Amino acid sequence: MKLYIPSDYRATLAPETMERVIEALKTEFPFELSQALGLRRVTAPLFVLAGTGVNDDLNGIEHAVSFKVADMGDAKAEVVHSLAKWKRMKLGAYKIPAGYGIYTDMNAIRADEELDNLHSLYVDQWDWERTITKEDRTVDFLKSIVEKIYGVLLGIEQYVYEQHSHITPSLPDKITFLHTEDLLAQYPDLSPRERETAAAKKYGAIFVIGIGGKLADGKKHDGRAPDYDDWSTPTDGKHKGLNGDIILWSDVLDSAFEISSMGIRVDKEALLRQLDIEGCPERRELLFHRMLIEDRIPLSIGGGIGQSRLCMYFLRCAHIGEVQASLWSDEMIDACRQNNIFLK
């Protein structure tokens, strides 16, 4: 997505009011999420040691920002991309039983991002993880968790409306579940991004299931690293995958708006299978992977929900730079300013 400029755009709130509402949303949402999913807050790292397999590879190609730690013999540390694997290890360390979990305020730097309305070098999200049982590793259970999260999103939309009645609700009462294979069959001539846009516009809010593996056309809907989400486990005769994205429709951007990537995490079998599929079986020797293979890490479901994205969506902003401070090119700053979009 390149920079998109809505016609006749005006911010819904004055800058000083916007800051107060952002603070309120960043307090209200995690409280409601923790109540809905049985989570408690934990403190998260900004960086982890390289070479342990703990940092996330996202699509498998991004490079982490790194530095040497002088007081640890120049050991290499990496700024986190997200905390999917770190959280899962903490579930085990804290011995959190099935049905309960943790969440944290995750801050990251993703230096390889292509900057646009939704993407920034700086990432802030609520990362959450919840212990599950073997019997929970089903699409139905995944859907039940998505519905709980969507219920919280609906509540936040109502909260904003009650405080600022000119920002009217637009989300549908229910979220629609769609598999990537079905989207491909329905829109064979569209790109994955275009399929998401068409479906999000049609339904208002969708959860796209099965992201990471190759589809019937031999291509991936989108990339996922092989060692956190389970995108390869068969779920019926023609579908695979126990993960997905929550995508909303944005009238402001006239586009699909991804607000969360989440899923049931790999078990031992799915991990080994996906490492082989992606041609990186050597990763099984890394710390995280060994712990999982040796059953020292619990089964889990988890994901991330963008903090700035959530504020951006519910305050009807046109650019993520309206709700967070980051770096933008002079060209982007000027183009936005000329169209009443003022970046922090």
116's tokens: 């646009």
Catalytic residue among 120, 232, 255, 261: 261
Residue 265 catalytic? Answer: no
Residue 331 catalytic? Answer: no
Residue 245 catalytic? Answer: yes
Neighbours of 169 (CB within 10 A): 11
Catalytic residue among 34, 82, 110, 120: 110
Catalytic residue among 136, 157, 245, 322: 245
72-76, long-range: CB within 8 Å, 24+ apart, which pairs?
75/49, 75/50, 76/49, 76/50, 76/51
Catalytic residue among 56, 57, 136, 157: 56
Catalytic residue among 258, 273, 284, 290: 258
Residue 140 catalytic? Answer: no
Catalytic residue among 34, 82, 120, 125: 125
Residue 162 catalytic? Answer: no
Residue pair 261/254 in contact by the 8 Å Cβ criterion: no
305 burial (CB, 10 Å; 0-12 / 13-18 / 19+) is buried
Q: 125: part of which helix (H) or strand (E)?
A: strand 122-131
143's tokens: 């859907």
Alpha carbon distance, N-terminus to C-terminus of the chain: 20
Helix axes 15-37, 139-163, angle to 10 degrees: 150
Residue 110 catalytic? Answer: yes
Kindly list the catalytic residues.
56, 110, 125, 245, 258, 261
